[in-house]
Chains A and B, each alone.
Chain A
Amino acid sequence: MDDKLFEILEFGVYGASILLILIGLYAVLTKRSLIKIVIGMSIIDGGIHLLLITIGYLKGGTAPIFSPGYEEAAGQMVDPVPQALVLTAIVIGFGVTAVALSLIIRLYRHHHTLEIDEIKRLKW
C-alpha cells in the first residue's frame, strides 16, 4: 500500500513542483499587474526549489545531520547537495524579488500605474 502510494507520490511531487512552475509562468505571461508578475516569479522559484529538494530525496532517508552515535549513517541520508543549492537559491531569489519590488515602487512613483502594457515608453 505504501509502495503504491509512494509511486503515485513520485508523480505527485514532481508534478506539483512543475505545476507550480507553470502557474508562476502563467502569471508572468498573462497578468498585467507588475506585482502579480513578481508574485509569479516567486512562485516559479518555489516550484524549482521543491523540484531540487525532491531530486535529493531518499526514501526512508534522514536529514543529512549526524547525531552522536550515528556517524556511520551516511547511507540513509538524503542528498545534502540540492539542499545547499536551494539554500543559496532561496536567498538569491529573495534578493531579486526585493530589487523587483523596489523597482515597482519607483515605477509607480513615475507612471502611477502598475499595468505592464502601459509602461512601454522604450520600444523599437
Chain B
Amino acid sequence: MNTIILIFIIFLGGAILTFLAGMLKGILKEVLFLASVFVPVVLFFTNISIGQTFSFQAAGFAFQWGITPLSYVFALIVAGLGLMAAIYAVSAMRNKDNVSFFYFNYILTIMSMLGILFSRDLISFFIFWEIMTWSSYLMVVYQGKDVQTVGIKYFIFSAVGAYAMLMAIVVIYSLTGSMMIDSLIQSFPGFSFNMQLLIPILLLIGFGVKSALMPLHVWAPGAYSHAPMAYSSVFSGALSKMGIYGMVIVMVSLISHIPGGHWFREVIAWLGGITAVMGTLWAIKQDDAKKLLAYSSIGQLGYIIVGVGIGTPLAMMSGLFLAVMHALFKGTLFMVVGAIERQTGTSNLTEVTGLIRKMPWTFLAALFAIIALAGIPPLGGFISKWMLYESLIGSNHYLLVIVIFFSSTAAFLYCYKFLFGFFLGQEETEWSHVKEAPAMMVVPMLILAVSTFVLGVFPGLILNPINEAMQTLGYANTQGHLWELSIIFNEWGNQIAMQPIVYTIIGIFLFFLTFLTIKGYKETRYVTTKDISSSGEVPKEHENLTFSMNFMQPFFRAVEPLMRRQIDKYYTGFANGMEALFDFTRRIYTGNGQTYAMYVVIFVVLLLLFKNIIFG
C-alpha cells in the first residue's frame, strides 16, 4: 500500500480508536495516542521521499497527494513539534476530563496539517484546512472557558478565511478546469487582471487569518491562551505556519506574475511589520503568561510575514528559518507555561514568582527558548533576525527596518518579564511546595530547547532543506556551501564581517547570564512580596507588588496612542450591529397569520406588476 495513504489511514484510525479507547480505563488510550502520532511520523521520516505522489478521483475532482521541498520544510516542523507535544500532552493532560477527546482532536490536527502539506490539489488542501480548523476550534473550547466569545470568534475568523479561500478555489476551478496547484501556477499568468488581483487577495485573506496577520489577528490571543497548553504549543508553533506555507506559495508563485505585484509585497510586508510591533507591544502589557505568549506569537508571525512578503532570497530564507525556529521556541514556551500552570495552578505572572529553584529544568528550557526568541546569538532566533535585517536593508526598506528593530527591542521586555516573573525574584512561601514537572513534560521541552541551540549553531541543518525548497520555488541557489557549517565560525558570505559583533553579543549575554545567576543564588533576600516598602510607603495588605505588576508603565505611557485603538472593538461593534440588525429584520415573521397571508398576496401582486421586467 502506498505510504502516503497509509499515513493518513493510521492517523484517522488511530484517532477514532483512541477516542473509543477513552471509554475504557487504563493507559490504553495513551498508548494508542502516542502510537498513532508516532508511527505515521516515523513512516513520514523513513518512507516518504520528495516527489512521490498518490493520485485518485473522487466526486468528479482529481486528487493528488505528494510532498514538495517546500512542504517538506513545514512538515518537519509539524512532525517534530507534533511528536514532542504529544509526549508532553500525555503527561500534561493526565487526570483531565475527556482526555480521549483531546487526543482525538490532537491527532486530527496533526493529520490535517500533514494533509495540507501533502495536498497537491486545492480540494484536498481545503478539506484538510477545514479539518484543521474545526479540530483546533474544538481544542480552543475544550476547557469550557469563554466558549461563546473566544471560541466563536476563532471560528468566525477561520471560517471567513476558509471561505475566502474556497471562493478563490472555485474561481480557479472555473477558470482552469483543474484543481491542481501546479496547473494554477502555470495558468495564472494568463488570467485576466481582475482575476489576478482577486485570487491572491482571497487566498491571502485565508492564509492571513491563520497566520494572524494584522487586521485578522484578533482571534489569536484568546484562542492561543484558551487551548490546553499542550495543544497551544502545536497551535502557535505549527498550525499558524500553515498560513505561512500558503502565503509563501501565493507570494512567490502567483503575485510575482501580476503586473505591479511588488505593491502587493509592500502591503503584506508592512502589514507584517505592523503586526510585529503591535503584537509585541500588547505582549508586554499582558500579565497572564498565556496571553503574553499569544501576543508574542502574533508578533513573531509578523516577522515571518515581513520576510515572506519582501520576498528577496535572503528575506524568504529568513522568514522560513524563523518559521522553524518559532515553532521550536514558542512550542517550548507554551509547554513551560503549561508545566507551571499544572504545578502551581495559575499562569499569572503577577502571582507566580521565584520558581527557579523549584523547577530548574523547566527554567533551563524557558531560558533557551527566551534567548532564541529574543534573537541573541548563538541561538537560532538571532540568525533569522540577522538575515531579516540584511534583506530589508538590502532591498531598501529602511523604514521597515526601524519598525522591526523597534519591535524586536521591545520584545526583550516581554522576554525579560516572562523569565523574571516566573523564575526569578522572591520566592514566595505560597509556592514553596511546588515541584518540578514530571519527566515526560520536561524532556520534550528540553529537547526542543536544545534543538534551538543546535539549529543556532548549525543552521545548515535546516537551511539546506530551505535552500532546496526555495530553488524549487524559482530562487537561485543561495551559496549553499556556506551553510554547511556553523555560522559563528564562518564568514557570512559576502556580507559584513560579523564575528566581532557576534562575539561581543555573546560576551554581553554571558555576562548578563552570569550576573543574573549569581544574583539569583547569592543576593536574593528571602522576603515575601508583601514586605517590600517602596519609597518609604508601607503598602497596603492587598497590594500586589511583584515584579511583573505594571511592568514598564512609563513606556506604555509613551506608546499609548498606538495601542488605544483596538481593532477588536470594531469587529465586536460590527458583529453586535449585525446581530441587532438581524434581530430586527427577523421581525418580519410577525407571528400574525394574516400578515403572512398579506405577504403572499403582495408577492403575487408585485410579480404581476413587474412581470415584464422579471419574466420578460
Contact = CB atoms under 8 A, between A and B. Distances in A.
Interface of A: 25, 28-30, 32, 37, 116-117, 119-124
B25 interface: no
A-B residue pairs, 4 tightest by C-beta = A123-B591, A120-B591, A120-B592, A116-B594
B590 interface: yes
A68 to B, nearest CB: 48
Given A28-B597, A120-B591, A124-B590, 20 more contacts: A25-B601, A28-B594, A29-B594, A29-B598, A29-B601, A30-B594, A32-B594, A37-B594, A116-B593, A116-B594, A117-B592, A117-B594, A119-B593, A120-B590, A120-B592, A123-B587, A123-B589, A123-B592, A124-B587, A124-B589
B140 to A, nearest CB: 31
Given A29-B598, A29-B601, A123 B590 contact: yes
B586 A124 contact: yes
Contacts of A29: 594, 597-598, 601
Contacts of B591: 120-124
B597 to A, nearest CB: 6
B449 to A, nearest CB: 57
A38 B97 CA distance: 58
Contacts of B601: 25, 29
A25, A119, A123 — most chain B CB neighbours (10 Å) = A123
Interface residues of B, number: 11
24 contacts: A25-B601, A28-B594, A28-B597, A29-B594, A29-B597, A29-B598, A29-B601, A30-B594, A32-B594, A37-B594, A116-B593, A117-B594, A119-B593, A120-B591, A120-B592, A121-B591, A122-B591, A123-B590, A123-B591, A123-B592, A124-B586, A124-B587, A124-B589, A124-B591
A37 B591 CA distance: 16
A116 B592 contact: yes
Interface string B583-616: 0001101111110011001000000000000000
A120 B590 CA distance: 8
A37 B597 CA distance: 11
A29 B597 CA distance: 7
A25, A32, A121, A124 — most chain B CB neighbours (10 Å) = A124
A30, A120, A121, A122 — most chain B CB neighbours (10 Å) = A120
A123 to B, nearest CB: 3
A23 to B, nearest CB: 13
Contacts of A25: 601
Interface string B340-356: 00000000000000000
A25 to B, nearest CB: 6
Contacts of A124: 586-587, 589-591
Nearest to A40: B597
B586, B590, B591, B601 — most chain A CB neighbours (10 Å) = B591
Nearest to B602: A29
B426 to A, nearest CB: 58
Contacts of A122: 591
Nearest to A37: B594
Contacts of B587: 123-124
Nearest to B588: A124
Nearest to B587: A124
A58 B598 CA distance: 36
Contacts of A28: 594, 597
Contacts of A121: 591
Contacts of B598: 29
B581 to A, nearest CB: 14
Contacts of B590: 120, 123-124
A120 B587 CA distance: 12
Nearest to A34: B593
A117 B594 CA distance: 8
A29 B598 CA distance: 6
A121 B592 CA distance: 9
Nearest to B594: A116
A32 B601 CA distance: 17
B308 to A, nearest CB: 48
Contacts of B589: 123-124
Contacts of A119: 593
A30 B595 CA distance: 9
